[in-house]
Structure 1
Amino acid sequence: MHNYKMLIDGAQVAGEQGQFDVINPATGVAFAQCPAGSLGQLDQAVDAAQQAFKSWRHSSHPDRCERLLAIAADIEQEADSLARLIVLEQGKPLELAFSEVMGAAAWTRYAAAQEIAVELVEETTQRVELHRKPLGVVASITPWNWPFMIAVWHIMPALRAGNCVISKPSSLTPLSTLRLAQIIARHVPQGVINCVTGEQGFGSAITSHPGIQKIVFTGSTATGQSVMRGAASNLKRLTLELGGNDAAIVLPGTSVEAVAEEIFQAAFLNMGQTCAALKRLYIHESQYQAFADALTHIAARQVVGDGLEAGVTFGPVQNLEQLELVEALVADARANGARVLCGGARLDKPGFFYPPTLVADVTDGHRLVDEEQFGPVLPLIAYRDVGDVLRRANAGDMGLGGSVWGPDTEQAQALASRLESGVAWVNCHAQIQPNTPFGGSKMSGFGVEFGLEGLLEFTGQQLLFVRKRADEQGV
């Protein structure tokens, strides 16, 4: 069994609190051990980042760009082994894991090419400029669903803006992030990137640490609230991408054949374990049965199994706790008269396998509709009136994303603009790009990632106000 090391101040170190098991969700058995760091080691990592920041903050934009491009090249070079490691710790099929790695390389290249320009506010008898400067030490706390990609989303813009980073991956999927930190460390000065790992309680020490200036967190709303409370100690800057219970509305007349596959993939991407996945599907009653039949047919084609096995298209749920939540939500729906069209039961085999499951005859007020399932289950909800379904889609306290599907793009766009969500898609869902800002509303968090807006979240502003001498004023 391979033993991994943390990265602190350029050195690979063992955890002072011992080690903990990393479970392969396809078997339910540990396949590796990860170091359990101590609070003292967290202090060492923060100290190293603070020291490195003194010079890294003054590095040039071309220098940072060159370093990030070299990191991207190394990620691509090691894509096969990284993808296999992701499958072992997270469970997704190998092809999807490979796409995660290659997408992370592309995202790194995009970050490398970004520029932070000085904004000229006024040029008269005085010159007023708005400058953006790095914050200092940024802590990245990442979840278990896209362990490699989300770490890249957090770390690369932070480095590009001139910050130093403490990365803390989920204890369920820490290994690919540790590998990422080692790759980054080849190309940046000692202490610029650090990666610490630990089990429950370690993250709270990060959120309240006085030496950290910003936290970027992706995860549940409840944990995000805890992060926010801890960050108040020194008014840390925050970017919080939290839970989502994204609704999709299918308008009357939508072509079932044209959109059923896209809707299925948007709902079951990564076995439904994606924050911006489609999680509630509202279908007009005139097409309810047609969509139910089409989606059930697509679900039946999926091959459920170990992500490293040839031909597998659908892997396990990542952990037992999440699997048990999915089981509970489906059981509650059944108890309230719902029909399970396919799936609906854990597979009788080792590992955390649950097949793609479609549930009909559910509605608002059922747990499966009101709560984020974050797993391979999609409730199909019938509606009659467009105004009413918009109210229902907006009724929850989450607002990450949402979508409207329909034959008339203008009509669909008008309805999508009324969704209470950070992102609204038309005839697609969960389309996330490096050049488009992404963030939630309501209890789905605040702040944005990606695009220039996302990059600026890793900076503070300084207004430079210069009163010109008389001989410089040109008057």
Structure 2
Amino acid sequence: MDDLAFFNTINNDRSSSENQESLLAPRSNKPLWKVPLATTADVDAAVAASQEAFRSWRQTPLEERQSQVRGLARLLEENKALLSGIISQETGKSTLMSDMEVDGSIDFLKFNAAQSLDDEIAFEDESLKIVTTYHPLGVVAAICPWNFPLVLAIAKVAASLVTGNCMIIKPSPFTPYSTLKFVELASAILPPGVLQALNGGGDVGAMLTQHPGVQKLSFTGSAATGKRIMASAAGSLKRITLELGGNDGCIVCDDVDVERVAREVAMGCFFHAGQMCVATKRVYVHRSVYPEFMTHFLRTVDGLKTDAPVEEPSVFGPISNKMQFEIVKALIEDCEKNGYEVLTGGTNGVGNGLWVSPTVVNNPPDDSRIVKEEQFGPIIPIMIWDTENEVVRRVNDTDCGLGGSIWGKDQERIQRMARSLETSTVWLNTSPRPVPMGHMAGWKESGIGGEWGRQGLLAYCQVQTLQISKSQV
């Protein structure tokens, strides 16, 4: 793979730049491929190409758009090894994890290719019929994160293209490679201007956010950046979708199979070394099962091999970039400075890359940084709870509301608790497993609007109402 080249894609043409950079592989800190940085002229050219393509793409029959999206799924299947290898290099994921990301991308394409937004009769009586219709918005800019660079981009692509929009993707500057390569490959299938990709930093994101030729912006990333995007987009009243951070709580009740649940919860905490928006980031265990839970949880954590080779099947890996590595390192140091009991891990890194040992903090106070902040890394606080009202209050005591999970045999009880949580998605008796069919949104500072599922298509549509009088004219 050393001979790979990467380009921006504008109007189905490869586009390079005099200004290029090479990023570092998280597993080794060695340089990866050179990648071009987009310019203001590139942004303007891409928006103009999207605007031109939208005129015909929106008129393309739905069946044809669905067929094109299914074609993208086949494209991924044919290039799975290539894209999986790129993902492993840029994120540090194992081959197992990178294969899973490509498979998840295929699932999003196939799910959305099967969707349509037919007219709906909202109301009808003897004198009036109200019909709801759905129309594409136009040019959509997608600003994507670094933790799952391909699947989170393609989830936006699939919904946007099926509904008749054109899309410009800006991948994370930490992980641009797989997205750029996918869009380059997709240019062999899609009409010019329908799907484009521009690599760059915050300057490119700001240009897309402020550009008057962009009708919608979809962003996945941190709450701090989301707030800046929302303020910037206000100047042109763009439609926005913000899927932001989470500090997801997990509640373990006293009636569970403790060994099995401890193992499952550990996987929910340390999947991709905790670098997932809906990863479990706080665990609350009922006092009566806490000691037994901790025994099995720590046994599972001890079995997570740090610095495993990329070919070894593992859901654990390094921190994907230096910025996040320093954030996790600071949280570990804060726990140690404040005397919180660190049961395992606690080292700042091992190996040549950005590795952090899985770290478990025993019952820190609710106002500690490790409880209040989203760590987005392999460090997890585990706390004791006694009453249902108490634990629900503590889980809700956060500015975030993206996801959460509850484990218990009493279905009435755990569903009652789930409905009391101020969070968009609650997983019951399963670790967080986002799927294309399930709508994802955020409460509080975890986002504005939502994506995925059938509801997610509406985020890419303008709703039009036809009020049809039945009287004769």
2:63 matched to which residue of 1? 62
Query: Relative to structure 1, is the Cα distance of residues 200 and 115 closer, same or farther in structure 2, using a 3 angstrom cutoff?
Result: closer
Query: Relative to structure 1, is the Cα distance of residues 53 and 313 closer, same or farther in structure 2, using a 3 angstrom cutoff?
Result: closer
1:315 is aligned to 2:313: no
2:197 matched to which residue of 1? 195
Q: Name which of 132, 157, 177 aligns with 1:155.
A: 157
Report deviation, 1:199. Answer: 2.3
| Secondary structure of the structure 1 residue equivalent to 2:324 | helix
1:259 matched to which residue of 2? 261
| Secondary structure of the structure 2 residue equivalent to 1:369 | helix
Residues paired across the two proteins, number: 470
| Secondary structure of the structure 1 residue equivalent to 2:34 | strand
| Secondary structure of the structure 2 residue equivalent to 1:417 | helix
Q: Distance in 2 between matches of 1:67 and 1:235?
A: 31
Q: Distance in 2 between matches of 1:121 and 1:245?
A: 38
TM-score by length of 2: 0.96
Q: Distance in 1 between matches of 2:348 and 2:373?
A: 20
Between stretches 302-311 and 155-164, larger displacement belongs to 302-311
Query: Relative to structure 1, is the Cα distance of residues 425 and 309 closer, same or farther in structure 2, using a 3 angstrom cutoff?
Result: closer
Report deviation, 1:311. Answer: 4.8
1:447 matched to which residue of 2? 449
Between stretches 196-205 and 154-163, larger displacement belongs to 196-205
State the AA in 1 paired with 2:450. V
State the AA in 2 paired with 1:62. E
Q: Distance in 2 between matches of 1:424 and 1:268?
A: 18
1:47 is aligned to 2:42: no
1:99 matched to which residue of 2? 100
Unmatched tracts of structure 1, length 5 or more: none
State the AA in 1 paired with 2:56. S
2:85 matched to which residue of 1? 84
Q: Name which of 11, 14, 19 aligns with 2:13.
A: 11
State the AA in 1 paired with 2:431. H
Q: Distance in 1 between matches of 2:107 and 2:447?
A: 26
Aligned-residue CA RMSD in angstroms?
1.5
1:168 matched to which residue of 2? 170
Q: Distance in 2 between matches of 1:60 and 1:307?
A: 47
Report deviation, 1:201. Answer: 2.1
2:338 matched to which residue of 1? 336
1:365 is aligned to 2:357: no
Q: Distance in 1 between matches of 2:40 and 2:213?
A: 13
2:23 matched to which residue of 1? 22
TM-score by length of 1: 0.96
State the AA in 2 paired with 1:40. A
> Residues 34-433 of structure 1 correspond to what in structure 2 (within 5 A)?
34-123=35-124, 124-305=126-307, 308-433=310-435
Identity %: 37
| Deviation by residue 1:199-222 (Cα, 9 ceiling, x = unmatched) | 232211111111100011100000
Q: Distance in 2 between matches of 1:347 and 1:128?
A: 61
Report deviation, 1:469. Answer: 5.9
Unmatched tracts of structure 2, length 5 or more: none
Between stretches 328-337 and 86-95, larger displacement belongs to 328-337
State the AA in 2 paired with 1:68. V
Query: Relative to structure 1, is the Cα distance of residues 122 and 426 closer, same or farther in structure 2, using a 3 angstrom cutoff?
Result: closer
| Secondary structure of the structure 1 residue equivalent to 2:406 | strand
Q: Is the 8 A contact 1:305 1:312 kept in 2?
A: no
State the AA in 2 paired with 1:451. G
Q: Distance in 1 between matches of 2:352 and 2:392?
A: 42
Query: Relative to structure 1, is the Cα distance of residues 213 and 445 closer, same or farther in structure 2, using a 3 angstrom cutoff?
Result: same
| Deviation by residue 1:41-89 (Cα, 9 ceiling, x = unmatched) | 1010000000000110111110011111111011011111111110100
Q: Distance in 2 between matches of 1:229 and 1:367?
A: 28
Q: Distance in 1 between matches of 2:225 and 2:192?
A: 31
Q: Distance in 1 between matches of 2:320 and 2:269?
A: 16
4+ runs of 1 displaced by more than 4 Å? none
Q: Distance in 1 between matches of 2:381 and 2:216?
A: 37
Q: Is the 8 A contact 1:246 1:401 kept in 2?
A: yes
Q: Is the 8 A contact 1:21 1:34 kept in 2?
A: yes
